[in-house]
């Protein structure tokens, strides 16, 4: 069985190992060695990567008690090869995982919130807690976790030979059905739980813990967090974004939020004013449309193609033009797409849902509605003018045939 050097020293980055087996697998080879510094994926932590001799190690997993290293070339049996892990990757993952232990402990200690799910990716990490948590509770737990970081507490791993040997330990989390030896990771004066992954030697190596986002999840709370260099990169990016916003508004960084709020308020007021003006203008435009409406038997038909009208403006105008016994089809070329609205007024004998399939087919779009209003969109406005004329002819004939 492979000797797991990462269990003895999480900071060991290289060693020499003897090739025990090497067989073709997938897009490469699975190799087993007498000892390894490569951690196999497990405990929520991705595996190490690196090199073994001239071979690249892309993934490591445990299967049937053996540690299988996926490599890109064959290695001869019995050969002694130098193995080196990607230390930057390993240290980053250790920072996140040890930070997760402290964050989970802090939520449990303060609010009896249990970690029921943990996901550690190469660019983010999440914890799922079993109860709703407020913003104030998130901040309090984040602060407690960082105080453990600042104390630079020792982190250790111990092995136990049976379930009975660990049953009286003050474990925050005890995974059931573990096979000896059972590995317990302890942080002095703080967390203790079962875990198979490598961790920092001291909490100070974590650097800092930052909760970036929270969301409701399965009746509880999902927390997204960043530790160490990940937290620094996030803070740097956010700081630079804030700096750019402040420069855009010619204000200090601490005034950027107020400037954005004022801009948002001003924009909202302008949008309201624009909507009010558009409604007034729609009244005049509707009168013009009705004056030019085409006769279609006992009814009137309005068909018009515009440019740059959004769906709301088009809908308001179509409804304004839908007087007694009138059918209005308004279309707009907007951002390369074709928007269209079909609206009918009082005394019109058909439900627009009966007419909309013809519009969708002619425009090569999708849409629907019922009663007196239907709306749709086509991905392309090419040939929109011809489509409008085609539909005008179709509706004049269709309405003229109505009794």
Strands 125-129 and 220-227: antiparallel
In terms of Cα–Cα distance, which of 80, 97, 79, 71 is closest to 6?
97
Strand partners, 82: 16
φ, ψ of residue 92 to 5 degrees: the values are -60, -45
How far is C-alpha 69 from the geometric centre of its chain's CA atoms? 31
In terms of Cα–Cα distance, which of 156, 170, 142, 184 is closest to 43?
184
pLDDT reported for residue 282: 86
**Greatest Cα-to-Cα distance within the chain, rounded to the nearest angstrom:** 95
pLDDT reported for residue 167: 83
Residue 341 vs residues 42, 288, 291, 388: alpha-carbon distances, Å:
56, 18, 19, 12
Evaluate whether 371 touches 348 at the Cβ level (below 8 Å): no
Sheet containing strand 182-187, strands side by side: 155-160, 182-187, 192-194
Task: Mark out the alpha helices in 28-84 (DSSP H runs).
Answer: none
Evaluate whether 305 touches 332 at the Cβ level (below 8 Å): yes
In terms of Cα–Cα distance, which of 309, 301, 333, 348 is closest to 317?
309
In terms of Cα–Cα distance, which of 298, 297, 284, 362 is closest to 329?
362
Calpha distance 209→189 (Å, rounded): 18
Q: Residues in the chain with pLDDT < 50?
A: none
pLDDT reported for residue 386: 95
Calpha distance 39→158 (Å, rounded): 17
In terms of Cα–Cα distance, which of 5, 2, 7 is closest to 19?
2
Calpha distance 48→90 (Å, rounded): 6
Structural domains in the chain plus CATH codes: 3-85 (2.40.30.130), 91-236 (3.30.980.10), 275-400 (3.10.310.40)
- Contacts with 145 (C-beta within 8 Å, 6 or more apart), sequence order: 99, 102, 103, 105, 106, 209
pLDDT reported for residue 6: 94
pLDDT reported for residue 175: 65
pLDDT reported for residue 44: 86
Tens-place pLDDT, residues 264-306:
999 999 989 988 888 888 889 989 999 999 999 999 999 999 9
Tens-place pLDDT, residues 174-212:
666 677 889 999 999 999 999 999 999 999 999 999 999
Burial of 344 (0-12, 13-18, 19+ CB in 10 A): buried
Tens-place pLDDT, residues 218-231:
999 999 999 999 99
In terms of Cα–Cα distance, which of 67, 70, 68 is closest to 59?
70
Calpha distance 341→259 (Å, rounded): 38
Calpha distance 393→402 (Å, rounded): 15
Question: 3-state class of 118 per DSSP?
Answer: strand
Calpha distance 129→108 (Å, rounded): 9
Burial of 74 (0-12, 13-18, 19+ CB in 10 A): middle
> How many other C-beta atoms lie within 10 A of the C-beta of residue 333?
19
Residue 368 vs residues 43, 55, 138, 330, 355: alpha-carbon distances, Å:
50, 59, 45, 14, 10
């Amino acid at each position: 069985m492979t000797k797991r050097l990462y269990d003895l020293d999480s900071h060991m980055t290289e060693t020499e190992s003897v090739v025990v087996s090497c067989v073709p697998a997938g897009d490469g080879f699975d190799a087993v060695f007498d000892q390894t510094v490569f951690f196999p994926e497990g405990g929520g932590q991705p595996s190490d990567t690196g090199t073994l001799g001239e071979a690249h190690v892309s993934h490591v997993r445990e299967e049937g008690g053996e540690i299988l290293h996926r490599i890109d070339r064959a290695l001869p049996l019995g050969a002694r090869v130098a193995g080196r892990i990607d230390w930057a990757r390993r240290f980053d993952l250790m920072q996140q995982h040890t930070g997760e232990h402290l964050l989970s402990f802090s939520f449990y200690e303060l609010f009896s919130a249990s970690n029921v799910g943990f996901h550690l990716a190469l660019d983010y990490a999440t914890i799922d807690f079993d109860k709703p948590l407020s913003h104030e509770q998130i901040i309090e737990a984040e602060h407690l976790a960082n105080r453990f970081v600042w104390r630079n507490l020792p982190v250790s791993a111990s092995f136990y030979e049976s379930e009975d040997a660990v049953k009286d330990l003050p474990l925050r989390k005890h995974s059931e059905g573990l096979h000896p030896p059972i590995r317990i990771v302890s942080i002095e004066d703080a967390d203790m739980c079962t875990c198979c992954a490598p961790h920092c030697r001291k909490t100070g190596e974590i650097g800092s813990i930052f909760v970036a986002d929270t969301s409701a999840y399965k009746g509880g709370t999902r927390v997204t967090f960043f530790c160490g260099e990940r937290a620094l990169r996030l803070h740097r990016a956010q700081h630079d974004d804030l700096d750019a916003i402040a420069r855009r508004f010619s204000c200090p960084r601490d005034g950027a939020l107020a400037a954005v709020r004022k801009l948002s308020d001003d924009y909202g007021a302008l949008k309201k004013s624009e909507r009010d003006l558009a409604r007034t203008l729609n009244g005049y435009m509707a009168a013009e449309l009705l004056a030019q409406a085409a006769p279609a038997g006992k009814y009137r038909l309005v068909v018009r193609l515009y440019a740059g009208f959004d769906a709301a403006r088009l809908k308001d105008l179509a409804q304004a033009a839908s007087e007694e016994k009138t059918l209005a089809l308004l279309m707009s070329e907007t951002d390369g797409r074709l928007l269209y609205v079909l609206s009918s007024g009082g005394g019109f004998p058909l439900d627009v849902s009966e007419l909309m399939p013809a519009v969708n087919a002619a425009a090569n779009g999708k849409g629907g509605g019922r009663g007196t209003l239907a709306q749709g969109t086509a991905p392309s406005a090419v040939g929109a003018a011809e489509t409008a004329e085609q539909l005008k002819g179709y509706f004049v004939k269709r309405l003229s045939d109505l009794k």
